[in-house]
């Protein structure tokens, strides 16, 4: 069974500081990996994904994430936080060869302090 | 290009009733997935439909059922509503192959269901 752990349900950073949101997965076979963002009262929007190839992936709004197989991690980073980054962030895994089914972590709420 | 739409936006039901939620997938997408997002939680996978057939199911009881129509729109039906069914229900569409993964899912804004 797939399992996704997001360490830290709430993260606060100062505007301009580094953003680091953690995601670890539990799977015998490396899954496809995604980060989604959810603004209040809205659906989820894709930030970035890893399927194959380069392990450092770049997404929208200056976010990037690195797939580390040995650590079963896919942490999300952004060098400089902006006020507009305040939102809920979800890491998701999609097991290969089972259809495009997603399993989400419990989310991390990011607060940006001016 | 029209995105994923869901109706209704909000819904209030009482325990024991039945509810139907609707989703129109993004143009050209053949796969629809439904998720339940309880307050303060991540979305939980309910089930997925690929070309009108169920293509995987999460840990939800049979009173959660669904349909996908030839135009790839979809319905989620919940019978015998319980208080714990109160949540945001999200629909997501993608262009996929039955057993392939790794495709972006495009989410609708959700239907907020309250069960009293």
> Is omega for the bond preceding A109 within 30 degrees of 0, making it cis?
no
A51 touches chain B (CB under 8 A): yes
CB contact under 8 A, A99 and B31: yes
Q: What percent of chain A has a predicted confidence (pLDDT) above 70?
A: 99
Tokens of B37: 């997002």
* A6/A61 Cα distance (integer angstroms): 21
Q: Please indicate if any CB of chain B lies within 8 Å of the CB of A3.
A: no
Residue A95 and residue A2 in contact, taking contact as beta carbons nearer than 8 Å: yes
Measured between CB atoms, which of A34, A36, A101 is closest to B33? A101
Mean pLDDT computed over B60-89: 96
- Of B92, B76, B88, B75, nearest to B25 by C-alpha is B92
Residue bearing the bigger pLDDT, A99 or A18: A18
Closest CA to A73 of A10, A22, A21: A22
Instruction: Select the residue from A21, A37, A43 to test the B interface by mutation, using most B Cβ atoms within 10 A.
Output: A43
- Here the tokens at position A93 are 């895994």
Residue with tokens 């069974």: A1
Report the mean per-residue pLDDT for chain B: 93
8 Å CB contact of B96 and A99? yes
Mean pLDDT of all residues in B80-103: 90
Kindly indicate the confidence band of residue B1, based on its pLDDT and cuts at 50, 70 and 90. low
pLDDT value of position B19: 98
pLDDT tens digits along A26-55: 977 788 999 999 998 788 999 999 998 889
pLDDT at A95 (0 to 100): 85
Alpha-carbon distances of A59 from A19, B21, B54, B58, B60, rounded to whole Å: 14, 32, 31, 28, 33
Query: Residue B32: helix, strand or coil by DSSP?
Result: strand
The count of other CB atoms within 10 Å of the CB of residue B101 is 20
Q: Which of A89, A99, A108, A109 to mutate to test the interface with B (most CBs of B within 10 A)?
A: A99
Residue B93: closest C-alpha in chain A:
A100
- Nearest Cα to Cα of residue B92 among B48, B37, B40, B62: B48
Give me the residue from A32, A104, A107 closest to B101, CB to CB.
Answer: A32
Residues in chain B within 8 Å Cβ distance of A107: 40-42
- In DSSP notation, A67-98 reads EEGGGTEEEEEESS--GGG-EEEEEEEE-TTS
Contact of B94 with chain A, judged by CB distance below 8 Å, is answered with yes
From the list A23, A7, A14, A32, the residue with the least C-alpha distance to A95 is: A32
Say what the pLDDT of residue B87 is: 97
Residue B13 to residue A36: CA distance in whole angstroms: 30
Given a cut of 70, whether residue B3 has pLDDT beyond it is yes
The secondary structure of residue B83, as a DSSP letter, is G
């Amino acid at each position: 069974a797939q399992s996704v752990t997001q360490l830290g349900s709430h993260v606060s950073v100062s505007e301009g500081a580094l953003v680091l949101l953690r995601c670890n997965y539990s799977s015998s076979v490396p899954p496809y990996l995604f980060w989604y963002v959810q603004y209040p009262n809205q659906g989820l929007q894709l930030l970035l994904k890893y399927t194959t190839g380069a392990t450092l992936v770049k997404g929208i709004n200056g976010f990037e994430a690195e797939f580390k197989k040995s650590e079963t991690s896919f942490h999300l980073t952004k060098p400089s936080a902006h006020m507009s980054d305040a939102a809920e962030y979800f890491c998701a895994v999609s097991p290969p060869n089972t259809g495009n089914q997603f399993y989400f972590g419990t989310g991390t709420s990011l607060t940006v302090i001016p | 290009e029209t995105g994923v739409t869901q109706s209704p936006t909000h819904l209030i039901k009482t325990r024991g009733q039945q509810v139907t939620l609707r989703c129109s997938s993004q143009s050209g997408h053949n796969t629809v997935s439904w998720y339940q997002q309880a307050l303060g939680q991540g979305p939980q996978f309910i089930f997925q439909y690929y070309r009108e057939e169920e293509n995987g199911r999460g840990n939800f009881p049979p009173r959660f059922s669904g349909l996908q129509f030839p135009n790839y729109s979809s319905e989620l039906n919940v019978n015998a509503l319980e208080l714990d069914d109160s949540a945001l229900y999200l629909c997501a569409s993608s262009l996929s192959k039955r057993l392939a993964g790794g495709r972006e899912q495009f989410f609708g804004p959700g239907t907020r269901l309250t069960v009293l």
